[in-house]
Amino acid sequence: MSKLRLAIVGAGPAGIYAADIILKSERNVDVSIDLFDRLPAAYGLVRYGVAPDHPRIKGIITALREVLDRGDIRLFGNVNFGTDITLDDLKRHYNAVIFSTGAILDADLNIPGIELPGSYGGADFVSWYDGHPDVPREWPLDASSVAVVGNGNVALDVARMLAKHADDLLPTEIPANVYGGLKASPVTDVHVFGRRGPAQAKFSPLELRELGELRDVDMVVYDEDFAIDEASQNAIESNKQVFVLMKVMNAWRERESGKASRRLHLHFYSKPLEVTANERGTVGTFRYERTEPDAAGGVRGTGEIRELEIGAIYRAVGYFGSPLDGIPFDEKRGIIPNLEGQVMDDDGKIMPGIYATGWIKRGPVGLIGHTKSDAMETVKHLLRDQAHWWAPAEPGEQAVVDLLNARGIEYTDIAGWAKLDDYEKALGVPEGRERIKAVDRAEMIRVSRA
């Protein structure tokens, strides 16, 4: 019976699901799996991409931890692919590799002025308020009026975190520096802009409902956006999610408003055109064109141009993957080119031994649950491809440990994550909180390797 030494690069849900599926599969091969991640802690976007006031989603961490705690998977955190360990290293020590590095960059919003000071990526802001160790500790929160461009859940997360009173986040694991920044924010109005109508928004009902539950924040929607065309009516009648979204927003139209200290506005049928500067050379005005249904399920411009004075703008129009050293990359889609998870070279030929799963495979679409079925597809091909696996020169499990030690890499492991977990919980005890997330990378490594 042969034995497979498998490396998985990326220890978020996609990578952990893939490892779990392989180890539970009916197969004619023994498997030894090592997970690598550039961050000292595991769980990827669940830890660093889910807002701290979403404990239900973070409950997924419990399931992921159960997989890691079984003891049949090794974790090497704080190891950067391309520098600390290379593709040649993986070929020397493993039979195959799965890349599950996700998508953490902001997709572009190509309008004039988007590069002005005061313009930010929504994904970068998410990383900041989630305590990502590779972003600055401080965030410029000095605008009273803010625009958020996007009509998906990330846009809602960004808008909610900007509008929500910081004290209402204290029951969560929000880092101290994030609480301090949000507490000092002078924001009064957050405006969310979408190019299409309310029936075409990509919000989930749960996310949308949460906006209406914010303390001392008025939800503001505009009657002009709710003249329902035939395509929207069909969507409402045929799609339960759209029906619920419209029911929630129509209820907000009936609410009494004007008494809260902050307002969260939803603007539909608004196409971004330009960001213009104020006298200080920073973001000053957001210009957009009013759109209307085109009778074919889309929208068209009306020629009516509107302006809104703002002090900051966030683009939340999607995530984008990052290229990996020695691995083909689709610059347009932000993914690794692949056929059902089998990585393809620049000529469209399948590259033996190299696979992809998660957002770096399919793009930043779908919920975390989709990641599991996505991993199943990739794993199916991997297990069928034993004849094409690499023949590693040094497959022993100790070999990669010796390699990292020889290079002076301060890697963290599963036992180290348990120490960090206990440390974060201890940080929360004096304040009566479940945990306070550690932010500094050096601190995380010190605790994990103690």
What phi, psi does 84 have (nearest 5°)? -70, -35
Which of 401, 438, 414 has its CA nearest to residue 42? 414
Q: Does residue 442 form part of some domain?
A: no
pLDDT at residue 114 is higher than 60: yes
State the residue for tokens 């160790």.
133
pLDDT at residue 203 is higher than 60: yes
Domain that holds residue 249: 105-319
User: Do 172 and 267 lie in a common domain?
Assistant: yes
Give me the pLDDT at residue 2, please: 60
Instruction: Quote the CA–CA distance of 178 and 427 in Å, as a whole number.
Output: 15
Q: Output the domain CATH number for residue 72.
A: 3.40.50.720
User: Do 164 and 262 lie in a common domain?
Assistant: yes
Q: Does residue 428 form part of some domain?
A: no
Instruction: Quote the CA–CA distance of 195 and 199 in Å, as a whole number.
Output: 12
Q: Does residue 434 form part of some domain?
A: no
- Answer yes or no: are the C-beta atoms of 438 and 424 closer than 8 Å: yes
pLDDT confidence tier of residue 386, bands split at 50, 70 and 90: confident
The token duo for 285 is 């005005």
| Percent of the chain's residues with pLDDT above 90 | 83
Summarize the confidence of residues 100-115 as an average pLDDT.
94
Total domain count for the chain? 2
Which of 212, 233, 231, 230 has its CA nearest to residue 221? 212
User: Do 99 and 164 lie in a common domain?
Assistant: no
pLDDT at residue 446 is higher than 80: yes
pLDDT at residue 26 is higher than 80: no
User: Do 269 and 378 lie in a common domain?
Assistant: no
- Edge-to-edge order in the sheet of strand 73-76: 73-76, 30-36, 3-9, 96-99, 350-356, 342-344, 338-339
Q: Does residue 135 form part of some domain?
A: yes
Q: Does residue 315 form part of some domain?
A: yes
pLDDT confidence tier of residue 122, bands split at 50, 70 and 90: very high
Instruction: Quote the CA–CA distance of 45 and 10 in Å, as a whole number.
Output: 10
State the residue for tokens 């290379």.
86
**Last residue in a domain, options 319, 335, 367:** 319
Q: What is the pLDDT of residues 91-104, one digit of tens each?
A: 999 999 999 999 99
User: Do 311 and 334 lie in a common domain?
Assistant: no
Q: Does residue 447 form part of some domain?
A: no
Q: Does residue 220 form part of some domain?
A: yes
User: Do 217 and 296 lie in a common domain?
Assistant: yes
**Last residue in a domain, options 319, 344, 375:** 319
Q: Output the domain CATH number for residue 152.
A: 3.50.50.60
Summarize the confidence of residues 426-446 as an average pLDDT.
94
Instruction: Quote the CA–CA distance of 271 and 274 in Å, as a whole number.
Output: 10
Summarize the confidence of residues 302-307 as an average pLDDT.
98
**Last residue in a domain, options 319, 342, 374:** 319
Summarize the confidence of residues 165-186 as an average pLDDT.
95
Give me the pLDDT at residue 28, please: 65
User: Do 200 and 176 lie in a common domain?
Assistant: yes
Give me the pLDDT at residue 55, please: 73
pLDDT at residue 1 is higher than 50: no
**Predicted TM-score (pTM) of this structure:** 0.92
The token duo for 12 is 């978020």
- pLDDT averaged over every residue in the chain: 94
Summarize the confidence of residues 49-77 as an average pLDDT.
87
User: Do 98 and 121 lie in a common domain?
Assistant: no
User: Do 113 and 185 lie in a common domain?
Assistant: yes
User: Do 339 and 399 lie in a common domain?
Assistant: yes
Give me the pLDDT at residue 296, please: 82
Q: Does residue 450 form part of some domain?
A: no
pLDDT confidence tier of residue 371, bands split at 50, 70 and 90: confident
Instruction: Quote the CA–CA distance of 204 and 152 in Å, as a whole number.
Output: 8
User: Do 156 and 219 lie in a common domain?
Assistant: yes
Give me the pLDDT at residue 110, please: 94
Give me the pLDDT at residue 256, please: 84
What phi, psi does 260 have (nearest 5°)? -80, 160
Q: What is the pLDDT of residues 222-240, one digit of tens each?
A: 999 999 999 899 999 999 9
User: Do 254 and 392 lie in a common domain?
Assistant: no
